[in-house]
Amino acid sequence: MINLDLSEQEIIRRQSLEEIRSLGINPYPAAEYNVNTNSTEILSNYSVEKNNFQDVSIAGRIMTRRIMGNASFIEIQDDKGKIQVYVKRDNLCPGEDKTLYNTVFKKLLDIGDIIGVKGNVFITQMGETSINAVELIILSKSIKPLPVVKEKDGVIYDAFTDPDQRYRQRHLDLIVNPHVRDAFLKRTKLTNSMREFLNQKGYLEVETPILQPLYGGAAARPFKTHHNTLDQTLYLRIANELYLKRLIVGGFDGVYEFAKDFRNEGMDRFHNPEFTQMELYVAYKDYNWMMNTVEEMVEKIALDIHGTTEVQVGDHKINFKRPWKRFTMFEAIKEFTGIDISQMDENQLTETAKKLGVEVNDTMGKGKIIDEIFGEMCEAKLIQPTFITDYPVEMSPLAKKHRSVDGLVERFEAICNGKEICNAYSELNDPIDQRERFEQQLILGKRGDEEAMVLDEDFLKAIEYGMPPTAGLGIGIDRLTMIMTNSQSIQDVLFFPQMRQEKKSQKDDTSKFADAGIPSEWIPIVQKSGHLTVESLKGINAASLHNKLCGTNKKHKLGLANPSIDDIKSWLEKLN
RNA sequence: CGGCCCGUAGCUCAGCUGGUAGAGCACGUGACUCUUAAUCAUGGGGUCGAGGGUUCGAUCCCCUCCGGGCCGACCA
């Protein structure tokens, strides 16, 4: 029986599937299919003079079909791109039996099907490099129609653009939107380039716990979970900083991790609940050294991805060429507001903030106000990569106090395209100072700051044994990828960005309809007519239901004997 | 959490403040031996996101809900 939930096109494809099987062809063959080249290799290397690619075997998905009687053109898409295939009846079927062309290819194959093609490469009269198919095999039959995107002279028609569908069904997005695929290839290039840089320096890639009994290393609200055997609360990490520093205590001179972190906070085009950071810790270095390292690393990444240090991002051309501009936070504020706040006390800072239109309130300390002024007045204006150094101590409980300026810490962020891309410091290794800083955080926590850090006794104990002076870095992989791929949203650089679960419409089980006295063969039809629950049948007009059911029966050629109005009345009476 | 916008065929979109829906592509059938957004002819395809209200009558007006986008708030 026909499934009433399927669209016309899906029904036709399932029928094609059966016909393929009845011709003795397996639409999902088990055997491996050997390919000896790919679309891009052919398109970039084929030449008539060389007469190469005369025995190619490739596999891919059918993306377009242009059928004209005994000759056809299709485009197939493989891992590297698209290539046109010329399918001529008598080349594909040299013998008497033309079934493979006339029936299988022309009638039973569809856009979206995955096939293998063997043949020779040539150039058509229109000048397009194509494969002349002498062999064609179905590798996987597609029973759902793909979005059809057309293109001519670089102009895209009917692009598949609905963000909801693109993110929930990323596979479709990847099939029909080549630029999406390209962004993800660049993302992997970025992490490969970074890893190569770090390995070449001799640092050790490590893995540390994602499930942590205490969350630390950043200011954020965590996800909470529970371990059954331990009967204990665990948190998904918000950062891995404290574990990596314990490894530095343990004697590794350089450790890094590409870490998925989880923060239970708002979502927007710059924030996803899970995101990736690369954290790096190097012993006997300080934040000045780390700035040089970041410049060198990001410049290399830009060169590896784009072949140049210049990257177009929105309206801006961003240049990652070293050296980057450097400002202390006070200098940056002076640069963009003309006001020198370096010597101001809390009252003067509050006055200045108000004058500048920056919102402040009584709960904010000196550090928070400075940070707020910077965030409002400077950050968005920093388009070219710029280091901002020397932050107020209140904002940075894990950073070492500044070697020469009171009230500041040795910390820097790199700002690019108006957004932070990394955060680093000379790590605090004085265990007594560290304990005091944690205690200040505890006070903030008691005042209701949900993001205040918790005191991590294990970490403190570790650095009491002595941690070498260390430079530490956290660099946001998603944000850096956004810049390197000119993406407007973090969703465009995550394969599967977090989406709200769609609620399925309430639907009663068929048994519930059966219990209510509806004959089993009519249940799907009743549901198709819009009555997904037994409840929804109560009190409705028998004649109108009769009309709908008989109509559906006829329309879908189900061939059931129509019930009489009295039959339907009796069903409905039992319900009421 | 607040403001604005969106949800109609497999896809991209029309639809006059109200009379139960249209186009292009895709799909079916037929024609066509080098096409390329193939073409020509013809046909089918829709609980108009869900529920409720107003109305003789709702894709359209009102309310609630679901999902998404943008901006802001919060936040790195």
Q: What is the pLDDT along chain A (576 residues), one digit of tens a residue?
A: 456 778 899 999 999 999 999 999 999 999 999 999 999 999 999 999 999 999 999 999 999 999 999 999 999 999 999 999 999 999 999 999 999 999 999 999 999 999 999 999 999 999 999 999 999 999 999 999 999 999 888 888 889 999 999 999 999 999 999 999 999 999 999 999 999 999 999 999 999 999 999 998 888 889 999 999 999 999 999 999 999 999 999 999 999 999 999 999 889 999 999 999 999 999 999 999 999 999 999 999 999 999 999 999 988 999 999 999 999 999 999 998 899 998 888 888 888 888 888 877 777 778 888 888 898 889 888 999 999 999 998 888 999 999 999 989 999 999 999 999 999 999 999 999 999 999 988 887 777 777 788 899 999 999 999 999 999 999 999 999 999 999 999 999 999 999 988 766 566 667 777 777 777 777 777 777 666 667 666 666 666 667 667 766 666 666 677 777 777 777 777 765
Report which residue is nearest nucleotide B1 when distances run from CA to C1'.
A266
Rounded to whole angstroms, the maximal C-alpha distance in chain A is 95
Query: pTM of this prediction?
Result: 0.91
Which residue places its CA closest to the C1' of nucleotide B24?
A158
Q: Measured CA to C1', what is the nucleotide nearest A127?
A: B34
Q: Which long-range contacts (CB under 8 A, 24 or more apart) does A301-308 make?
A: A301/A190, A301/A193, A301/A194, A301/A197, A301/A480, A301/A484, A302/A484, A304/A189, A304/A190, A304/A192, A304/A193, A305/A186, A305/A189, A305/A190, A305/A193, A305/A484, A306/A484
| Tokens 């140049």, residue located | A308
3-state class (DSSP) for residue A118? strand
Q: How far apart are CA A6 and CA A143, in angstroms?
A: 10
Per-residue pLDDT, A539: 61
ipTM of the complex: 0.91
- The residue count of chain A comes to 576
Contact, A155 vs A176, CB < 8 A?
no
**Angle subtended by helix axes A542-555 and A565-575, to nearest 10:** 120
Residue A1 pLDDT = 46
Per-residue pLDDT at A544: 65
Within 10 angstroms of residue A403's Cβ, the number of other Cβ atoms is 9
Tokens representing A134 are 């002498």
Q: Give me the pLDDT at residue A286, please.
A: 97
Q: Tokens for A453, please give them.
A: 């850090």
The residues pairing with A137 across neighbouring beta strands, listed in sequence order, are: A116
Distance separating alpha carbons of residues A322 and A511, to the nearest angstrom? 70
Q: How many CB atoms lie within 10 A of CB A374?
A: 24
C1' of B60 to CA of A530 (Å): 22
How far does the CA of A146 sit from the C1' of B62, in Å? 38
What's the Å distance between residue A158 CA and nucleotide B14 C1'?
A: 14
A497 CA – B58 C1', rounded, Å: 37
Measuring CA to CA, which residue among A389, A421, A436 is closest to residue A408? A389
d(CA A17, C1' B26) / Å: 19
Residue A158: nearest nucleotide (C-alpha to C1'): B12
Q: Which residue is nearest to nucleotide B29 (CA to C1')?
A: A107
Q: What is the pLDDT of residue A515?
A: 75
Nearest nt (C1') from A506 Cα: B50
Shortest CA to C1' contact from A530: nucleotide: B47
What's the burial of A184, exposed, middle or buried (CB within 10 Å: 0-12/13-18/19+)?
middle
Residue in this structure with the two tokens 């399927």, named with its chain if needed: A6
- Listed in sequence order, the residues at least 6 apart from A471 whose beta carbon sits closer than 8 Å to its beta carbon are A281, A282, A285, A286, A287, A289, A290, A293, A424, A425, A426, A427
Q: Provide the pLDDT for residue A566.
A: 76
Please give the protein residue whose CA is closest to the C1' of the nucleotide B76. A420
Distance from residue A69's CA to nucleotide B31's C1', rounded to whole Å: 8
Strands A274-283, A470-476: pairing is antiparallel
Measuring from the CA of residue A166 to each C1', which nucleotide is nearest?
B68
Nucleotides of B under 7 A from a protein CB: 1, 9-13, 24-29, 31-39, 44-45, 47, 50-51, 66-76
- Which residue's CA shows the smallest distance to C1' of B73? A266
Name the amino acid, one letter, at A331.
E
- A255 is written with which tokens? 């450790």
- Nearest nucleotide over every DNA/RNA strand to the A375 CA, judged by C1': B76
Cα gap A10→A3, rounded to integer Å:
10
